[in-house]
Amino acid sequence: MANRRSFLQSALGIGAGLFTTDKLLASTPQTPAQRLKESRSRNKGPAFNTPIVTTDIGDLPYTMDDDVKVFHLVAQAVKQQIGPNKTIDAWGFNGSAPGPTIQVNQGDRVRVIFDNQLPEPSSIHWHGFEDQIQYDGQPVISQPAVKPGGRFVYEFDIHQEGTYFYHSHMAMQEMTGMLGAFIMHPKEPYQPHCDKDFVISLQEYAVLPNNTVPNTMSMEFNWLLMNGKTGPATTPLIVRLGDRVRIRFVNLGMDHHPMHLHGHTFYVTGTEGGRIPETAWWPGNTVLVGVAQARNIEFVANNPGDWMLHCHLPHHMMNQMSSTVGKMTRMSGIGVPAGSDMSKGMGMLQGASATPLGEDYGPSLGRGMGIGSTSDMATTNGPLSEAKAHAAMQGMQYGSEHNMAGMDMSDMQSDIAPNANDVPNFPQDAYMEGPMMAMDKMVDRPENHGLNAGWSQYMQGMMTFIRVLPPDKYEEVISRMQQAKRANDPYASLLNRG
């Protein structure tokens, strides 16, 4: 009964505003199982804000200076591994792109010490903040540009609530990864209580197949990311059957993303302007997250299964999309350039002079100025000689199973109909799904435990799972996540609860 009484005190909001999330979590006497049961049965849960989980990214830690929460945000060049065998040179914050999520409470005083370790000026804009002009982060217009090696200190009294973000206000820096989520938890916790709360930042990059540097001028994107990872490297969202779940999408790129959830109907409960009154929530299974917008969705995960959560633009459900690659095709008869390695079979690594992928030509994806142009120049983003390709794709030269540089495309024949070549529209451009693309082992992690073998062959681009697990499977996955003891685990706040 003691637990019950404590729960009711919490539910009634007694003293709720006085507690930070961490303090309240530490002092809440119920076991996680009891707490989840209560919240499921009542739909009006304990009066605390569920800490946010930013899969694959995590949080920016803070220290206290009297009553001020102090964050130290460092802009820097980062190596961001976006998928198996694919690491790009992005610009981000504190080791990742996107940068770590900042979580504060409404009413907090917040200081962000910003250090610029980039080779050019920068500054940080706080997207959606009703802040003072000197902290708005527009170089020269509202503050001095922060020079390489320089520092600027931002100060905020947090009076808003909702899903916000921070980013460089310089367009090319935005396009190379300089953004992060900034969550303002409300003083009065949202009702109904959500058992899980996730942030997913949506990004796209244009990176040529054998390169590491995003082409920030390009309008043709071939890597589509959630929290800095592309499917199947995205870490699934783990929830327990019956949990009420909130997902906050943040978009700071060049494309809009219709985010679609399988198996459930959700309500849109918040925007980049904060909470939507309940009377104005609208139901759906797809929410369009436009550029510079945030969209919060909530639903009760009442349908067990491994459900896809993904952008529904077909070209955003693929990796390595590039019109300069040509047909990715299969060994199926006469006239189809397949059946040999990537260089001979597809020509994608050949460097004949004056071709779009030639040795003497920075490939297109927006960068080339036209064949023969005197403005063409060698860049870190090209060109595509086989030798350079192999140097840039060392991770792809594993054992025979994943030796893509010397890949035998006859592997792809196994699931093709004998008359495939007689069927109009076969082979499709960039047809890449199938057994050859399975890489379950390469993306193995506790959160993937129990997925159907071969799952990874049909998950690419801006895709992940929300795994709605019955109690026994949920406990098993959570236990494996705990045993992994990963440093700076983005799931730490959830794992520490149990």
Q: Which residues make up the interface to Cu ion (CB under 5 A)?
A: 257, 311, 313, 316
**CA pair distance 75, 7, nearest whole angstrom:** 42
- For Cu ion, which is the closer residue by CB, 289 or 396? 289
Considering the complex, what minimum distance in angstroms separates the CB of residue 196 from Cu ion? 23
Considering the complex, what minimum distance in angstroms separates the CB of residue 230 from Cu ion? 12
| 419 Cβ contact partners less than 8 Å away, ≥ 6 residues apart | none
Considering the complex, what minimum distance in angstroms separates the CB of residue 253 from Cu ion? 9
Residue whose pair of structure tokens reads 């109904």 in the numeric block: 192
**CA pair distance 205, 24, nearest whole angstrom:** 40
- For Cu ion, which is the closer residue by CB, 198 or 221? 221
User: In Å, how far are 326, 330, 387, 418, 448 from 345, measured between CA atoms?
Assistant: 11, 10, 17, 20, 34
Is residue 425 exposed (0-12), middle (13-18) or buried (19+ Cβ within 10 Å)?
exposed
Write the DSSP string, 349-402.
T---TTSTT-TTS---TT----TT-TT----TT----HHHHHHHTGGGB-SGGG
- For Cu ion, which is the closer residue by CB, 38 or 272? 272
- For Cu ion, which is the closer residue by CB, 308 or 389? 308
Considering the complex, what minimum distance in angstroms separates the CB of residue 317 from Cu ion? 8
| E strand intervals along 169-256 | 179-185, 196-205, 223-226, 237-240, 244-251
- For Cu ion, which is the closer residue by CB, 311 or 494? 311
Tokens for 408, please give them: 């035998």
- For Cu ion, which is the closer residue by CB, 97 or 311? 311
Give the number of C-alpha atoms closer than 13 A to the C-alpha of residue 489, restricted to the C-beta side: 17
Tokens for 351, please give them: 């460097």
Q: What are the beta bridge partners of residue 224? A: 204
Considering the complex, what minimum distance in angstroms separates the CB of residue 255 from Cu ion? 5
- For Cu ion, which is the closer residue by CB, 257 or 295? 257
Considering the complex, what minimum distance in angstroms separates the CB of residue 205 from Cu ion? 13
8-state DSSP, 417: -
Considering the complex, what minimum distance in angstroms separates the CB of residue 254 from Cu ion? 10
Considering the complex, what minimum distance in angstroms separates the CB of residue 291 from Cu ion? 11
- For Cu ion, which is the closer residue by CB, 177 or 427? 177
**CA pair distance 125, 272, nearest whole angstrom:** 14
